[in-house]
Structure 1
Amino acid sequence: MLAETQYVAGDGLRKVARVVLLDPADRILLLHGHEPDDPADDWWFTPGGGLEGEESREEAALRELAEETGITEVELGPVLWRRRCSFPFAGRRWDQDEWYYLARTTQTATAATALTELERCSVAGARWWTCQELARARETVYPTRLAELLRTLLDEGPPAGPVTLDTEIV
């Protein structure tokens, strides 16, 4: 998710790879995060995080997924969406360029295996969501249109090329 040693592009945006992980029942895996000092300030988000060193976005997506969920048996697919976002977290502002990869797995048990110190203080767990549950959710979910995006993905399949989502600034 967040670490201080991660790659930042020349435009100042942190390069991030995220994973839209689906199980055989087409449920999506989301992580439950919160402000380190305020568990009541919480949200749900896809696994993923910043690139480290010279790794590719694909390598970062698979590494982050393994670290945050323990899931390593995945088939990484195409980039579905791209999004720029900016948000306050843990006392600073994060400006990110996020790429969302489709992945499928039959491995549904999760166990965080290599969280950073910041992640240990701010990630409360993981949950598999159906599209219907996500559409009815009252909790905050990022990206904010995830239920709609997932429904389109399940109905129509992956887009021909990555879809650029609206910039989200919190």
Structure 2
Amino acid sequence: MSDSQASVGDSPASDRAAARVVCVDGDGRVLLMHWHDAVGGRSLWEPPGGGIDPGESPFEAARRELTEETGLPGEAVLDRWVPVRREFDWLGVHYAKTERFYLARFDGTPEVAPGAFTAEEDDTYLGFGWFSPAEMAGLADPLEPPDLMEVVSRITRLG
């Protein structure tokens, strides 16, 4: 195992660096991606984002991931972020790490068109939606991270 992996119970663990983007439209709604973990059997909603590639800064990764997962322009991501501690299981791997959550603001509601998913993302993607805070609170599947509403509040105060 590499330095970033260790065993937690029977599951491998990872602290792979990642970055996410809180996208806010002109009506104050937040873009969330809907995923299903076939290994763990759960579905969840989270902001777009993902792993940081070698040699890439968190900011560069946030911009790249936004475009790959949503088709939205990476240039919309502002260099404003909040640290978010996360601990979760995904596809049989336990993650424990702090990620940067960046902000992107849009006039109106831009069209989302995922176009560069990995094979894993193709297998786990259920869809997306733009949600008001009230709608986020009422989603049937959980938010990830669980304190996402507080994260959105913190990052939107910065920008």
Quick one: which amino acid aligns to residue 136 of structure 1? Answer: G
Query: Given residue 43 of structure 2, which amino acid in structure 1 is its aligned partner?
Result: D
Does the aligned pair in 1 maintain the 2:82–2:155 contact within 8 Å? no
| Aligned amino acid, residue 26 of structure 2 | P
* Change in 2 beyond 3 A, CA 1:34/1:69: same
Count of aligned positions = 147
Instruction: For residue 120 of structure 1, report the CA deviation from its aligned partner.
Output: 0.6
Aligned equivalent of 2:132: 130
What is the aligned-residue identity percentage? 32
The residue number in structure 2 matching 1:84 is: 85
Residue aligning to 1:108: 110
Matches of 1:100 and 1:152 in 2, distance apart?
A: 10
1:54 aligns with 2:42: no
Partner Cα separation in structure 2 for residue 113 and residue 151 of structure 1: 29
Indicate the larger mover: 125-134 or 67-76. Answer: 67-76
Q: Return the offset for 1:89.
A: 1.6
1:14 partner SS: coil
Amino acid at match of 1:158: L
| Conserved? CA contact 2:39–2:92, under 8 Å | no
Aligned residue in 2 for 1:162: none
Q: Which residue of 1 aligns with 2:10?
A: none
Counterpart AA for 1:105:
F
Structure 2 gap ranges (5+): 5-13
State the partner residue of 1:17.
19
Tell whether 2:71 aligns with 1:66: no
Distance (Å, rounded) in 2 between the aligned partners of 1:131 and 1:74: 25
**CA distance in structure 2 between the aligned counterparts of 1:20 and 1:89, rounded to whole angstroms:** 20
8 Å CA contact 2:22–2:102 kept in 1: the answer is yes
Aligned residues of 2:66 and 2:74 also touching (Cα < 8 A): no
Structure 1, residues 142-162: CA drift from partner, whole Å, max 9, x if none? Answer: 1212224434655xx228xxx
Tell me the secondary structure at the aligned position of residue 121 of structure 1.
Answer: helix
Q: 1:152 to 1:55 in 2, by over 3 A?
A: closer
Which has the larger displacement, 60-69 or 74-83? 74-83
- In structure 1, how many angstroms separate the alpha carbons of the residues matched to 2:89 and 2:155? 29
Residue of structure 2 aligned with 1:27, choices 14, 20, 29: 29
Superimposed CA distance per residue, residues 73-131 of structure 1 (whole angstroms, 9 cap, x where no aligned partner): 65322444212323222122233321000111236211111101111111111100012
Question: Cα distance, 1:22 vs. partner?
Answer: 0.6
Number of the residue aligned with 1:4: none
Q: 1:158 is matched with which residue?
A: 158
